[in-house]
């Protein structure tokens, strides 16, 4: 995607700026990603997933304290969209020890917010099977994944 063109036309497009940060981070430009994420936050974007991605970018630049602070802040805030619920659930699973019940609750909230979000169902299946020993419920979530995305490979 040509995020530069989108942002030239709509500089306040939080989604485009956030997605540009994801691409920059994936390409190894953590500092560029941080600049975009800081701008998203300053502009008042309300999706909490910004904190989790910024924690990744900070960690990539060696800023462990900043990464920990962003992750902590993301866990404290209540998500406002389904993808942020998934991001917070993933952050709960990455804790030591993992907070599987909290992650499960977040993935359930993601499904409630957007029943068509495949990643929410995939994460529900993972936490149910891998952390909570609820295989029947995990299979039900995987069935939903296959209904929504028949070609999903996991």
Q: What's the pLDDT score for residue 11?
A: 67
- 69-103 pLDDT tens trace: 999 999 999 999 999 999 999 999 999 999 999 99
Q: What's the pLDDT score for residue 47?
A: 84
Q: Which residues of 57-81 are buried (b: 16+ CB within 10 A; e: fewer)?
A: bbbbeebeebbeebbeebbeeebeb
Give the separation between CA 67 and CA 49, rounded to whole angstroms: 13
Predicted confidence (pLDDT) at residue 6 exceeds the cutoff of 70: no
Instruction: Mention every residue, 6+ apart, whose C-beta is less than 8 A from residue 49.
Output: 18, 74, 79, 81, 83, 84, 87, 88
What region does 98 belong to: left with phi over 0, alpha with psi -120 to 50, or beta? Answer: beta
Joined tokens for residue 99 = 């907070």
Residue with tokens 């069935």: 143
Q: Which residues of 101-123 are buried (b: 16+ CB within 10 A; e: fewer)?
A: ebbbbbbebbbebbeebebbbbb
- 33-59 pLDDT tens trace: 999 999 888 888 888 999 999 999 999
């Amino acid at each position: 995607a040509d995020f530069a063109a989108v942002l030239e036309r709509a500089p306040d497009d939080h989604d485009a700026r956030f997605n540009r940060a994801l691409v920059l981070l994936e390409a190894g430009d953590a500092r560029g990603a941080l600049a975009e994420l800081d701008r998203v936050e300053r502009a008042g974007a309300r999706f909490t997933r910004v904190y989790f991605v910024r924690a990744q970018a900070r960690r990539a630049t060696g800023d462990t304290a900043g990464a920990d602070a962003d992750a902590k802040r993301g866990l404290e805030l209540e998500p406002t969209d389904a993808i942020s619920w998934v991001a917070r659930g993933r952050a709960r699973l990455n804790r030591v020890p993992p907070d599987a019940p909290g992650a499960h609750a977040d993935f359930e909230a993601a499904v409630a917010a957007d029943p068509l979000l495949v990643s929410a169902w995939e994460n529900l299946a993972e936490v149910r099977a891998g952390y909570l020993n609820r295989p029947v419920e995990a299979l039900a979530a995987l069935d939903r994944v296959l209904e929504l995305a028949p070609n999903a490979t996991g």
